[in-house]
């Protein structure tokens, strides 16, 4: 039987291809080695956040606003010592609120004015107020908190007898309307030296406090 030369050539070619093809395990190893030789992409780093330096214009605006808020505290002291409750009340917004040291809660500019007129005709008639320190911080460009330490002398009890010097802390919340800052809320606190806390009862005196 004669063998077709073309069949021999075809069979030889197939045998060569089969022997050249890698086994599955060899193919897997080959792919792994090729993957390891590929260039590795470095992980992306987070962009660095640089500190924001306020511009000179921003710093100047804050400084100017701080001075304006401090001026309100100064005007509070001035009108108090002149016992001018008309000027005093104009420092407050129309809907302002004020809580004094004994928890009396006045709502609205007119109510705050009437309450202070009454006390400045009696126990605070000759009083002198000082604010040696005022600390201001801003929640927003047009919202500020001012915390002031104060000293009060020259006040009396309802019977007209002199009372000792008082000290305390007064907190103002102020908002800016147009070019003017107004007190929208105020909370006053007496500082009682040497006393950590004082029990409050129904018999606690409600006099001698602003």
Q: How many CB atoms lie within 10 A of CB 98?
A: 23
pLDDT of residue 37: 57
pTM for this prediction: 0.66
> Six-digit token pair at 141?
């460009």
Whether residue 179 is contained in a domain is answered as: yes
Contact 168, 107 (CB under 8 A): no
- Provide the Cα torsion 144, 153, 206, 111; round to 10°: -50
Whether residue 200 is contained in a domain is answered as: no
In a 10 Å sphere around its CB, with 0-12 CB exposed, 13-18 middle and 19+ buried, how is residue 199 labelled? exposed
How many folded domains does the chain comprise? 1
Domain range for 147 is 57-191
Beta bridge partner(s), residue 122? none
Whether residue 27 is contained in a domain is answered as: no
Whether residue 43 is contained in a domain is answered as: no
Whether residue 157 is contained in a domain is answered as: yes
- pLDDT > 70 in the chain, percent: 64
Whether residue 161 is contained in a domain is answered as: yes
pLDDT of residue 62: 81
Whether residue 120 is contained in a domain is answered as: yes
pLDDT of residue 158: 86
Domain of 116, CATH number, reads: 3.10.450.50
For the chain, residues with pLDDT lower than 70 are 1-59, 195-210
Whether residue 49 is contained in a domain is answered as: no
pLDDT of residue 61: 77
pLDDT of residue 181: 98
Question: Kindly report the CA angle at 91 between 87 and 97, in degrees rounded to 5?
Answer: 120
């Amino acid at each position: 039987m004669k063998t077709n030369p073309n069949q021999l050539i075809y069979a030889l070619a197939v045998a060569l291809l089969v022997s050249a093809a890698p086994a599955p395990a060899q193919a897997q190893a080959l792919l792994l080695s090729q993957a390891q030789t590929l260039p590795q992409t470095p992980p992306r780093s987070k962009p660095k956040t640089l500190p924001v330096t306020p511009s000179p214009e921003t710093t100047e605006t804050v400084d100017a606003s701080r001075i304006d808020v401090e001026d309100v505290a100064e005007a509070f002291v001035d009108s108090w010592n002149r016992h001018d409750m008309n000027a005093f009340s104009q420092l407050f917004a129309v809907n302002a609120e004020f809580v004094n040291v004994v928890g009396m809660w006045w709502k609205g500019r007119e109510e705050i004015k009437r309450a202070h007129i009454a006390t400045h005709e009696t126990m605070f008639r000759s009083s002198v107020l000082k604010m040696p320190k005022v600390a201001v911080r801003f929640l927003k460009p047009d919202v500020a908190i001012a915390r002031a330490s104060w000293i009060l002398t020259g006040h009396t009890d309802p019977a007209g007898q002199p009372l000792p010097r008082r000290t305390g802390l007064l907190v103002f919340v102020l908002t800016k309307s147009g070019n003017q800052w107004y007190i929208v809320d105020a909370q006053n606190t007496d500082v009682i030296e040497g006393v950590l806390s004082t029990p409050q009862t129904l018999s606690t005196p409600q006099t001698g406090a602003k």
